[in-house]
Amino acid sequence: MDTYPFQISGPALYLIMFIKDILKAEADNSEVCVSGWVRTKRDMKNLVFIEVNDGSCFAGIQCTFDKGPGLDAATETGLSRLTAGASVTVRGRIVPSPASGQRLEVAATELALVGEADAETYPLQKKRHSLEFLREIAHLRARTNTFGAVARVRGRMAFAVNRFFEERGFFLVHTPIITANDAEGAGAMFQVTTLDLAALAGSSSPPDWSRDFFARHCYLTVSGQLEAETYAMALSRVYTFGPTFRAENSNTARHLAEFWMIEPEIAFAELPDLMTLAEDFLKYIFADTLEKSADDLNFFDLRVQKGLVENLQALIKSKFTHITYTDAVNELQKSKEDFDFKPVWGSDLQTEHEKYLTEKVAGGPVIVTDYPKDIKAFYMKLNDDDKTVRAMDVLVPRLGEIIGGSQREDNLQKLEKRMTELGMNSKDYSWYLDLRRYGAVPHSGFGLGFERLVQYVTGMANIRDVIPYPRAAGQADF
């Protein structure tokens, strides 16, 4: 059993254990200290019950105080003053609990009221608050059941992401956050500048970027892919996992302005290899989370998304459906569904189309490949038909697109031609083109929005509720 002794001031409280470890222990009367935040307090005639939660696991622990003459003065005062939200350290013994629904509790003897919480103003009084209200108190929402569970699951999932790649010989590469190039060509980038905006406002001529901090026009990155590619051309298998930024003003439950992206890039690999990697990756993360975050997932299953656990279990055993974009559009056109957007070859699939394909056609995840080149980024490998590219999107039920990736164009002439067609200045990308000049190899990679993955695993409907401090258009208060 792990123990976490450290010094605290106040009474002679010497051994603090995480609640997750206490709950696994024997109710053998051994001595223990618990530190955490009070969720509830019930003051009876002879007993005081407090429920303490330290965030180490979903459950809290009940600490029961016998109001007899044995209590010291500090404990007595502490008990009378503590309210929901206060922080405490409790000392006692682990005993079997007579109450239903809990195997053990702490028969408490001493209490240190570490920090009080004014009952008049503490915002988390009620048992249940709306998610919208909790978004307004993002600094306190991790103390609720839902957001505590989201935070634990998210943290563990990030760890599993790194473990998955580490076990397969990938190296983590930290790609830059400030960049001069637009990886996706979607044009929705935040600018980074130290120029005096007030002084520029009156001027009719465009800013002289050569006078700016980086001596050129810079942005926050939309993707670490292009830089990851350079390292894949040296280390064979790499991934980046970092923040990315998009200034699109889309106010949806699946878009953030700041989100974390996982981007593996593999050398000597073609599209089918990438499809296998994506499927293995998702299944690994789902299986790991089911194992390591069982209590939190059970909560989401019960309160947020019915059938979630069973769904994830089935998905791990399933085989993802593969379909080309062209076949997918045919499938959508054949359907009797009343779509808001008519499916036509050449247009992007809408979320409603993606949901139809996963939920109605495949009954599970779908990998759509070979999209028209005109709706995809410049770097994707052109197919022999000259119309489609070796792209793949992984779509999942409930959410739609969770992964976007492709085999990369490794032919210098074809890539230069495509860049010219799109009006891109190939001088700006000469470093990227060097990868095609010197020791080019077929290579492939994908990007997975980490928040969409957390959304999928927790069942949380809004992406703003799976990142601690969401940034979206008009929202960066915390």
Chain contacts with ligand 4AD (rule: CB under 6 A): 183-184, 223, 225, 246, 255-256, 259, 261, 263, 401-405, 445-449, 451-452
Residue number with CB closer to ligand 4AD (79 or 226): 226
Smallest distance, Å, CB 218 to ligand 4AD? 18
The tokens describing 430, both together, are: 């000469």
Q: Which 3-state string (H, E, C) describes 8-43? A: CCCCCCCCECCHHHHCCCCCCCCEEEEEEEEEEEEE
CB of 74 to ligand 4AD, least distance (A): 49
**Choice between 82 and 328, CB closer to Mg ion:** 328
Query: From the CB of residue 100, how many other CB atoms can be counted at a distance below 10 Å?
Result: 5
Q: Is 35 exposed, middle or buried (0-12, 13-18, 19+ CB in 10 A)?
A: buried
> What, of ligand 4AD, Mg ion, none, does residue 403 touch, CB below 5 to 8 Å by kind?
ligand 4AD
- CB of residue 462 to ligand 4AD, shortest distance in Å: 12
When CB distances are held under 5 to 8 angstroms depending on the partner's kind, the choice from ligand 4AD, Mg ion, none that residue 400 binds is none
Query: What is the rounded distance in angstroms from the CA atom of residue 220 to the CA atom of residue 389?
Result: 27
Tell the smallest beta-carbon distance from residue 427 to ligand 4AD (Å). Answer: 21
Query: Could you tell me which of 197, 187, 195, 207 has the C-alpha nearest to residue 247?
Result: 187
In this structure, what are the phi and psi dihedrals at residue 391, rounded to the nearest 5 degrees?
-95, 160
Partner that binds at residue 436, options ligand 4AD, Mg ion, none, CB closer than 5 to 8 Å by kind = none
Calculate the alpha carbon distances from 152 to 58, 108, 156, 454 in Å: 9, 28, 6, 11
For ligand 4AD, the closer of residues 148 and 400 by Cβ is 400
CB-nearer residue toward ligand 4AD: 144 or 369: 369
The span from the CA of 419 to the CA of 424, in Å, is 5
What DSSP assignment string belongs to 162-181? HHHHHHTT-EE----SEESS
Amino acid at 91: R
From start to end of 268-383, where are the E strands? 321-324, 366-372
- If the CB atoms of residues 343 and 404 are measured against Mg ion, the closer one turns out to be 404
Nearer to Mg ion by Cβ, of 52 and 183: the residue is 183
Burial of 358 (0-12, 13-18, 19+ CB in 10 A): buried
Smallest distance, Å, CB 263 to Mg ion? Answer: 12
Interacting partner of 263 out of ligand 4AD, Mg ion, none (Cβ under 5 to 8 A depending on kind) = ligand 4AD
Q: How far is the CB of 384 from Mg ion (least distance, A)?
A: 23
* Nearest to Mg ion of 365, 404 (CB atom): 404
Spatial contact of 168 and 228, defined as CB atoms under 8 Å apart: no
Q: Tell me the CA distances in angstroms from 83 to 13, 54, 370, one per residue in order.
A: 21, 16, 59
- Residue 105 interacts with which of Mg ion, ligand 4AD, none, CB < 5 to 8 Å by class: none
State the pairing for strand pair 237-245/171-172. Answer: parallel
Question: How far apart are CB 376 and Mg ion at their closest, in Å?
Answer: 8
Tell me whether residue 149 or residue 262 sits nearer to ligand 4AD (CB atom): 262
Q: Pick what 135 binds: Mg ion, ligand 4AD, none; C-beta below 5 to 8 Å, kind-dependent.
A: none
* Nearest-approach distance from CB 347 to ligand 4AD, in angstroms: 16
For Mg ion, the closer CB: 113 or 275: 275
378 binds, among Mg ion, ligand 4AD, none (CB under 5 to 8 A by kind): none
Among ligand 4AD, Mg ion, none, residue 259 binds (CB under 5-8 Å by kind): ligand 4AD
| DSSP symbol at 383 | P
Angstrom distance (rounded) from CA 213 to CA 229: 27
Which residues are near Mg ion by CB under 5 A?
404
Crossing angle (nearest 10°) for helices 271-292 and 145-167: 130
| Min dist. Cβ of residue 128 to ligand 4AD (A) | 27
Which does residue 56 touch among ligand 4AD, Mg ion, none (CB within 5 to 8 A, set by kind)? Answer: none
C-alpha to C-alpha distance for 150 and 172, rounded to whole angstroms: 25
In angstroms, what is the minimal distance from the CB of 351 to ligand 4AD? 12
Q: Which is nearer to ligand 4AD, 212 or 352 (CB)?
A: 352
CA distances (Å), 385 to each of 182, 326, 336, in order?
27, 13, 30
Helix (H) or strand (E) holding 71: none
Closest distance between Mg ion and the C-beta of residue 395, in Å?
10
Closer residue to ligand 4AD, CB minimum distance, 266 or 308? 266
